């Protein structure tokens, strides 16, 4: 399937944080970007920013934990653009009650539904089109917690991110023969709105030393820019001032 130079990217969790930064970086590289997320107003703000900067973007509101809605969104993109070249799975959450002492099954189920099932649903939704194209890239945003178990993120978040890492590598094992490739992007602490859900919210000074959303946006654009012969299987990236190494008082809980 010829793309005539057009590259179409679908970014979930595109209304804020890493997803937003990834969408902006891709658009600046010439990608046509479709952003999805649960908050329509936030998506429209991102689309407006990209359009104002001369990029091409549109929004499809979506809850990735609903498989039928995910399939419908993929079909909508294909109907409008004829292809999907890149999927960035950036939708993800955590909850305040995250330790064994206070975790609730409702919170566990919510994290599994979004952080893991949502990733799988989106991957499956784009797979037929990418196979037809014999080309396609998927970037799954996991976490440092997907490689290193620690107390702070909690068992549910840590488990789902470990699972995303395994899911990504298993995809490459099966789909490399079809010209498809996936990258597990595993960042350490990033100064995004999800930090507000922590039991102890990091100070402004601490957040300034963390990775910033635009750092991950540039990383996403880098992976997406590699030629089809290249599979960046995994990226483990952290702040230089890594609080997991330094052990500051607020990151022990």
- Tell me the catalytic residues: 157
Cα 129 to Cα 25, 88, 117, distances in angstroms: 24, 15, 20
CB atoms within 10 A of CB 30: 12
d(CA 165, CA 170): 9
**Between β-strands 32-37 and 8-12, what pairing exists: parallel, antiparallel or unpaired?**
parallel
Candidates 74, 82, 179; CA nearest to 137 is 179
58 membership: H or E segment, kind and range: strand 56-61
Task: Quote the tokens at residue 239.
Answer: 């702040």
Instruction: Please give the Cα distance from 99 to 149 (Å, whole number).
Output: 13
CB contact at 8 A, 140 and 185: yes
Measured between alpha carbons, how far is 244 from 253 in angstroms, rounded to an integer? Answer: 12
- The 3-state DSSP class for residue 165 equals helix
Q: Which residue has the tokens 């960046």?
A: 232
């Amino acid at each position: 399937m010829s793309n005539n130079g057009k590259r179409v990217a679908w970014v979930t969790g595109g209304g804020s944080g890493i997803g937003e930064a990834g969408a902006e970086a891709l658009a600046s590289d010439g990608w046509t970007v479709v952003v999805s997320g649960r908050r329509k107003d936030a998506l429209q703000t991102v689309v407006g920013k990209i359009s104002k900067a001369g990029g091409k973007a549109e929004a499809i509101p979506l809850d990735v934990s609903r498989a039928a809605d995910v399939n419908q969104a993929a079909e909508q993109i294909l109907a409008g653009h004829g292809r999907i070249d890149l999927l960035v799975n950036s939708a993800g959450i955590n909850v305040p009650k995250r330790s064994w002492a206070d975790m609730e099954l409702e919170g566990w189920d919510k994290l599994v539904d979004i952080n893991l099932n949502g990733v799988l649903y989106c991957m499956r939704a784009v797979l037929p089109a990418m196979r037809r194209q014999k080309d396609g890239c998927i970037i799954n945003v996991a976490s440092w917690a997907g490689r290193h178990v620690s107390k702070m993120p909690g068992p549910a978040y840590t488990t789902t991110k470990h699972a995303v890492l395994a899911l990504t590598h298993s995809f490459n094992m099966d789909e490399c023969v079809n010209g498809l490739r996936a990258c597990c992007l595993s960042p350490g602490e990033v100064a995004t709105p999800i930090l507000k859900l922590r039991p102890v919210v990091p100070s402004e000074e601490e957040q300034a030393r963390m990775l910033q959303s635009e750092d991950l946006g540039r990383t996403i654009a880098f992976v997406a820019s590699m030629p089809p012969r290249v599979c960046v299987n995994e990226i483990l990236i952290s702040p230089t001032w890594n609080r997991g190494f330094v052990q500051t008082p607020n990151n022990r809980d």
